[in-house]
């Protein structure tokens, strides 16, 4: 039998025997980044369509959590840095070729936007809220006046934030599993699905819940289409890409991927939503949690499996 | 100017002197290495062939680590040498994930570290530490734009291969076969 044995004397920490430079911090950030992008996209999109009376959960309630989760995500990114005190170097330059650079700048726009957006609605959501200072009331009035401008910027930047979480990984041609342009759209769709799920969870009115349930069904369909496309692309490519696809088709990530991401995170919630739309009573929290679990598992599995895929001489 | 290195796989015996010389010259932290030996055995028993290679950063002309770096810490110095500026590096790991050769590592001090072709010695007219110390003289360093440099002559007379060119990196290590 033709054999090839490769022995390397290198054993660098976090690089050998398999790359593991990125851990839970990146996966967690990709999850919350996508989720926040999804919520803020629907909030600004439906605000611009003039639906702020009909869809309070999408426009007012769900965005309340986005500043919190974005700041948690930024905290995770900070933890991931090895040279932490130099983090500000990200903001002394713009490097268009580096997705991480324009992603950092996108976060710099989107995080304050999410704070301002929530702040303009905080007194509607929490009637007892008191800004304490006069100038804060003035600031609030100013932003409420220009909410439409905020919404236009936000609708644009939330798409960039959602797609960036995938493009960050697909820019690495050294990791064949990541190096596919479908990862950007897949992560955007998955973030929108998570956003729609959270809005469903917050919603108290039947019409809004139904709308987001239908939207979620369509997005899950798109996600499954992208996943099929991902494998078609990998399997029709070179040897290293075929090997990368094998990680999910018999390799070590097969069970977690197909069970947690596809079955529990997409197929089951889609079926539950279908049943609900047909009039069955299903507690909304079940599909919401399943979708979020599938979402977070997708990020973890892609981040870890991507580092296990490589060019081997 | 285009610095490059040729490694004679027929002369390399895999002694790891280059690894140790580099660790001492560049004060590489214990447990890490900027260059390393790879030994491959291929064929069908009993017709096996073993090859030794002294490997390091390939100082790619189209370096993915430089493209992915969000701060510009990873850059291409004159002569095509890929370097990291520690004061610009945030240690995000993007360059480590982007390198098909896994030639970079996180230095315990936080920044990302890698082979520099011993540019501090080269600027003084010396050779990189690994080249100086090699007991079989299997490493050749020099300027590809100079037809009389050691490396230019070697890749003109000998057959060579480059590793993982399919990753689109245009690597500048030439393995003489």
pTM: 0.94
The minimum CA-CA distance between B143 and chain A, rounded to whole Å, is 26
Coil/strand/helix, residue A52? coil
* Fold that domain B3-176 belongs to in CATH: Alpha-Beta Plaits (3.30.70)
At A80, list the tokens.
């991931």
> Does the pLDDT value for residue A264 go beyond 90?
yes
Domain boundaries, chain B: 3-176
pLDDT digits (tens, 9 = 90+) for B3-18: 999 999 999 999 999 9
Measured between beta carbons, the chain A residues lying within 8 angstroms of B19 are 9
Which candidate from B43, B68, B92 shows the least CB-CB separation from A172? B68
Other Cβ atoms less than 10 A from the Cβ of B137: the count is 10
Whether pLDDT at B111 is above 80: yes
Query: Which pLDDT band holds residue B154 (cuts at 50, 70, 90)?
Result: very high
Pairing of strands B160-161, B36-44: unpaired
Closest CB from A16, A82, A310 relative to B110: A82
Report the pLDDT value the prediction gives residue A313, as an integer from 0 to 100.
63
A80 contact residues in B (CB cutoff 8 A): 92-93
What local confidence, expressed as pLDDT, does residue A1 receive? 63
What are the tens digits of pLDDT across the range A202-212?
Answer: 999 899 999 99
Average pLDDT over residues A101-123: 95
pLDDT at B143 over 70: yes
Interface test with B, best of A30, A98, A177, A307 (most B CBs within 10 A): A98
Q: Note the pLDDT tens digit of each residue in A60-73.
A: 999 999 999 999 99
B127 φ/ψ sector (left φ>0, alpha ψ -120 to 50, else beta): beta
Q: What number of other Cβ atoms are within 10 A of residue B123's Cβ? A: 10
The residues spanned by each domain of chain A are 24-308
**8 Å CB contact of B68 and A100:** yes
Look at the domain A24-308 and name its fold: Formate dehydrogenase/DMSO reductase fold (1.20.1630)
Q: Is B106 in contact with B91 (CB distance < 8 Å)? A: yes
Quick one: pLDDT at residue A121? 95
Query: How confident is the model at residue A240, as a pLDDT?
Result: 92
How far is A187 from chain B, CA to nearest CA, in Å?
A: 19
ipTM: 0.92
Mean pLDDT, rounded, for A247-265 = 96
Residue A3 pLDDT: 75
How close B93 gets to chain A, by Cα (Å)?
6
| 3-class secondary structure, B153 | helix
B36/A92 touch (CB, cutoff 8 Å), yes or no: no
| Minimal Cβ distance to A21: which of B73, B97, B100 | B97
pLDDT > 90: what percent of chain A?
88
pLDDT in tens, A214-233: 999 999 999 999 999 999 99
- pLDDT at residue A128 in the model: 92
State the Cα–Cα distance between residues B136 and B80, nearest whole angstrom.
27
- What pLDDT, on the 0 to 100 scale, is given for residue A139? 94
Tokens of A66: 């986005």
pLDDT tens for each residue of A273-291:
999 989 888 899 999 999 9
| Contact call for A100 and B164, based on CB within 8 A | no
For A29-46, write each residue's pLDDT tens digit. Answer: 999 999 999 999 999 999
Identify whether the C-beta of residue A294 lies closer than 8 Å to the C-beta of residue A266: yes
């Amino acid at each position: 039998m033709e054999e090839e044995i490769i022995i390397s004397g290198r054993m660098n920490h976090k690089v050998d025997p398999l790359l593991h430079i990125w851990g839970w911090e990146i996966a967690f950030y990709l999850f919350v980044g996508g989720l926040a992008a999804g919520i803020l996209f629907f909030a600004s999109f439906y605000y611009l369509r003039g639906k702020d009376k009909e869809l309070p959960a999408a426009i007012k309630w769900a965005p309340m959590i986005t500043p919190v989760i974005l700041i948690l995500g930024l905290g995770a990114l900070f933890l991931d840095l090895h040279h932490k005190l130099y983090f500000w170097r990200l903001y002394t330059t713009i490097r268009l070729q580096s997705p991480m650079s324009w992603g950092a700048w996108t976060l710099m726009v989107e995080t304050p936007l999410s704070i301002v957006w929530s702040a303009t609605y905080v007194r509607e959501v929490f009637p007892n809220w008191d800004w304490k200072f006069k100038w804060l009331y003035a600031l609030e009035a100013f932003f409420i006046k220009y909410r439409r401008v905020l919404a236009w910027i936000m609708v644009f930047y939330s798409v960039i934030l959602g797609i960036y979480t995938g493009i960050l990984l697909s820019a690495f041609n050294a990791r064949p599993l990541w190096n596919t342009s479908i990862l950007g759209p897949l992560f955007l769709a998955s973030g929108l699905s998570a956003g729609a799920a959270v809005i469903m969870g917050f919603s108290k009115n039947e019409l809004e819940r139904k709308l987001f349930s239908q939207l979620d069904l369509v997005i899950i369909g798109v996600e499954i289409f992208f996943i099929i496309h991902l494998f078609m692309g990998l399997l029709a490519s070179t040897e290293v890409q075929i090997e990368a696809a094998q990680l999910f088709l018999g390799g070590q990530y097969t069970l977690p991927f197909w069970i947690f991401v596809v079955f529990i995170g997409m197929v089951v919630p889609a079926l539950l939503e279908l049943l609900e739309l047909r009039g069955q009573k299903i507690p909304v929290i079940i599909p919401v949690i399943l979708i979020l679990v599938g979402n977070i598992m997708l990020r973890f599995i892609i981040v870890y499996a991507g580092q296990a895929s490589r060019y081997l001489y | 100017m285009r610095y490059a290195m040729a490694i004679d796989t027929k002369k390399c015996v895999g002694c790891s002197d280059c690894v140790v010389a580099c660790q001492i010259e560049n004060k590489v932290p214990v447990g890490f290495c900027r260059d390393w030996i790879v030994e491959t055995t291929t064929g069908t028993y009993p017709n096996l062939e073993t090859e030794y290679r002294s490997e390091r950063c390939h100082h790619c002309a189209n370096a993915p680590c430089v493209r992915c770096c969000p701060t510009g810490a990873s850059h291409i110095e004159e002569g095509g040498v890929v370097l990291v500026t520690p004061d610009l590096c945030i240690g995000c790991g993007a360059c480590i994930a982007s390198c098909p050769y896994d030639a970079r590592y996180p230095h315990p001090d936080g920044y990302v570290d890698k082979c520099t072709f011993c540019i501090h010695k080269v600027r003084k007219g010396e050779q990189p530490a690994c080249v100086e110390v090699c007991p079989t003289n299997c490493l050749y360093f020099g300027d590809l734009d100079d037809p009389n440099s050691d490396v230019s002559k070697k890749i003109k007379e000998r057959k060579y291969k480059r590793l993982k060119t399919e990753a689109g990196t245009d690597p500048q290590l030439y393995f003489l076969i």
